[in-house]
Every structure is written in C-alpha cells, then in structure tokens.
Amino acid sequence: MDAMPVRRNVKYLCAVALWLTCASTVGWAGTKEILAEGAYNMGDGETPSVAESRALLQAKRLAVEQAGTYVESYSKVNNLQLTEDEIQVLASGLMEVTILDKKRSIVGNGFHFSVKIRAIVHPDKVEEMAKRVKEKSAAGDYKKVQEAYDKSQKEIEILKRQLAQAKSDKEKTQVEARITDEERFFQATEWLEKGEQAWLNDQNDAAIEAYTKAIGLSPNHAKAYYLRGSANQEKQQYDKAIEDYNKAIALDPNHVNAYLSRGSAFAEKRQYGQAVMNFQKACHLGDELGCTLMEQELKRKMLLEWDSLKTPEGFDFDKEFEKELKKLRQGN
C-alpha cells in the first residue's frame, strides 16, 4: 500500500507527544507511549458522533506521525529496509489507542469537540507486521483510506458553507441530505481503517466483519469489496473472494488490484483460463505484474493441457506459446 502525507489539511487545536521508555532492556525492547489531541468544530446538519470521530481522526493522525518516527528508527537499527509508505502503515497498525478524554463545548452557534488519546506502540510486532505489509503491498491501500478521509473533510467543509448560504428550505434540505451521505461515507471509511488494522494484526475474521460494516454504510464502495475479498482469500475462501472481486470490478471496471487478486483466486482453484483472462485485463490496464502473471499462467495452462502422446510431429511448444501470448498482448 505509496506513503500517505499525514499532515494534509489537518488543523490541530492542541497536540503533544510524550515518549516514555517502558522497559530498560537492551535495544528497542521498550514500548512507547504517545499522547495526542485533536479537535473539530461541528456545523449545522452534522451529527455529534461523527463530529467527535473527526476530532479523534486528527488525534490519531498526529499519533501515527510520532509513531512513524519511532518505527523508522527501529527499522534502521534492525535493517528492515522499509519505505516511507510502509513505515506509516506499520505505525498505524502497531498503535494500541485508548481515549483518555472527550470534551464538548459551545463555540458561537455550534459545538466544539476535542479528544485526547494515548497510543502505545509495541516494537515486538514490527518485524512480523512488516512482512505482511510487504507481501500484500499494503501501503497503497492504506494511503487510499487516508485520501478518502481527506476527501470527506474537504467535502464536508464545502457542504457546511453551502448550508449556511442556502436561501430556501428546499435548498437547505437538499444540502442536509448530502451532509448525511457524506457522514455515512466517513463512517464507512472508519470501518475500512478498522479492517486494515485487523488485517495487519492477522485477524482476518475481524477484518471481514469491519469491511462488511463499511459496505452496509456505503454499498457502492468498490474498495470495501476488494479488501473483504482479500481477507476472504487469505482464509482460502476463494468463491467468496471472487464474488467480492466481481462486485468491486462492477463498481470500478479499472480496479487493477481486483483483477490481479481475482486472477490469483482462480489460479488457486486451478481455473487457469479464468486466471489468464484476469491477468490479461490487469496487463492491458498498464500493470507490469499483470503482464508477468499473464505470461506465467498461460504457460502453466498450456503445459497442463499439452498431451505429448497426441502431439503432431514437428510441434514446437515454445513457438505455440509465443503465438498465444502475442494474441493475449494484442487483446485477442
């Protein structure tokens, strides 16, 4: 999963980070504690629960940034060779967050929410989690979740201004309905993030449950179907995974990762023709891995179908393979 810029359009009322070494053993054996605070001003049409969640998001983002500094240092000492993106994913996955305090006050005509959290970072999980992040290219998925948060924040600010400028009851009702939809999208993104956290900690059942809740809130969320499919595939529930990938692709026909994952699920089911077709689609969308897997699966399919006893004299397997591969590359 490219790294996310963790300070994009985020306003902090107050934020402090306190690093405590909880064990004095050699190296990086100690856990780390981070204290952070976030805030949000609720506008007309918004609900208190979502406004509070937006304040919590700010606090978590600051904590992730501080945890990322720790993870980066750990990775250098232990030569883990992590990218900046992967460091942010690990920092998020390693944090155990507790809400210490929540406050609500009246500011002008609206409410002001502030949330203070404690995040504990456990270094003993870094190497195991780093393997999962690298194996599944988790940084890209994590970044997209953060981008969804940013998109939601920008959209809600626009809608609040539109509501304040609305001149008729009809116009106000329409804007309020859009605010409600935006809040549902934000809540769905929260469940996506919870699913990612569960997946990073190798808790696929919890991840599937979280993605399912995200889908319930936002049924047209291709990302949620794709991620649930990935979790189902890890449990070797290939038919369920393929069903989720089908829905993700129906909602987003250019979802490269869904084609790649659906192809690998078909390969696990030994349906190599279907696997080749999915890798071909990913390849045609410009994905190099898709092109490589298309070639590999085509060769495996042809080798499994090849009956040497029925092969006519002068048959050249490599030549036939190149002929079929050329057809696939040309879209035939």
* Residue range 173-212, pLDDT digits in tens: 999 999 999 999 999 999 999 999 898 888 999 999 999 9
Structure token digits, residue 142: 């994590």
Q: How far is CA 19 from the centre of its chain?
A: 28
Single out the residue of 72, 63, 69, 46 nearest to residue 12, CA to CA. Answer: 63
**Each residue's pLDDT tens digit, 2-53:** 333 333 333 333 333 333 333 333 344 468 899 999 999 998 899 999 999 9
Q: Which residues contact 12 (CB under 8 A, 6 or more apart)?
A: 37, 38, 39, 58, 62
CB contact set of 207 (below 8 Å; sequence gap of 6+): 195, 196, 198, 199, 227, 228, 231
For 281, phi then psi, to 5°, come to -65, -45
Strands 95-107 and 110-121: antiparallel
Under DSSP, the state recorded for 311 is: P
Task: Specify the length of the chain in residues.
Answer: 332
Counting DSSP H helices and E strands in the chain, the numbers are 12, 3
Say what the pTM is: 0.80
Which DSSP string do the residues of 202-269 spell out, in sequence order?
A: T-HHHHHHHHHHHHHH-TT-HHHHHHHHHHHHHTT-HHHHHHHHHHHHHH-TT-HHHHHHHHHHHHHT
Residues 6 or more apart whose Cβ sits within 8 Å of residue 181: none
Proportion of the chain above pLDDT 70, given as a percent: 89
pLDDT at 307 over 70: yes
Decide if 99 contacts 115 (C-beta within 8 A): yes
If you compute the radius of gyration of the chain from its CA atoms, what whole number of angstroms results? 24
For the chain, domains (ranges, CATH) are: 1-137 (no CATH), 166-253 (1.25.40.10), 260-332 (no CATH)
Task: Measure the CA–CA gap between 317 and 266, rounded to whole angstroms.
Answer: 24
Confidence of residue 140 (pLDDT cuts 50, 70, 90): confident
Q: Which residue has the higher pLDDT, 309 or 92?
A: 92
Residue 111, SS3? strand
111 contact partners, CB below 8 Å, separation of at least 6: 41, 42, 48, 51, 104, 105
Q: Which two tokens stand for residue 268?
A: 């696990």
Q: Is 108's pLDDT higher than 80?
A: no
